Amino acid sequence: DIQMTQSPSSVSASVGDRVTITCRASQGISSWLAWYQQKPGKAPKLLIYAASNLQSGVPSRFSGSGSGTDFTLTISSLQPEDFATYYCQQASSPFGGGTKVEIK
């Protein structure tokens, strides 16, 4: 079974900071990776699909990259509404453990 490992598990950042979250697959998954944002009490929201494609309506400060086993989600300039937990997911199977982005 494929395992997805996210790091860090939490990050403290300020508005305007650049934030990078990584996700590593236990074996190669080509580009079949998605990123989701979840706010407390809400359902997850799709941000990025197929590793680097921005979902419609998602701000361009979000970007994704990577293929094979190593992937990255970058928020270029953190906004107040971006404080949330972020998850990666291989295809539609295992999720990573999540990264909580907190206010510094």
First to last CA, the chain: 36
Instruction: Please say whether the beta carbons of 22 and 70 come within 8 A.
Output: yes
User: Of 43, 60, 80, 81, which one interacts with other proteins (CB under 8 A)?
Assistant: 43
The residues in 62-91 that bind other proteins, with binding defined as CB under 8 A, are 87, 89, 91
In the bound state with other proteins, the residue whose beta carbon lies nearer, of 13 and 46, is 46
What DSSP letter does each residue of 41-80 carry, written as one string? Answer: TS--EEEEETTTEEPTT--TTEEEEEETTEEEEEESS--G
Closer by beta carbon to other proteins, 15 or else 50: 50
Residues that bind other proteins (CB under 8 A): 1, 32, 34, 36, 38, 43-46, 49-50, 53, 55, 87, 89, 91-98
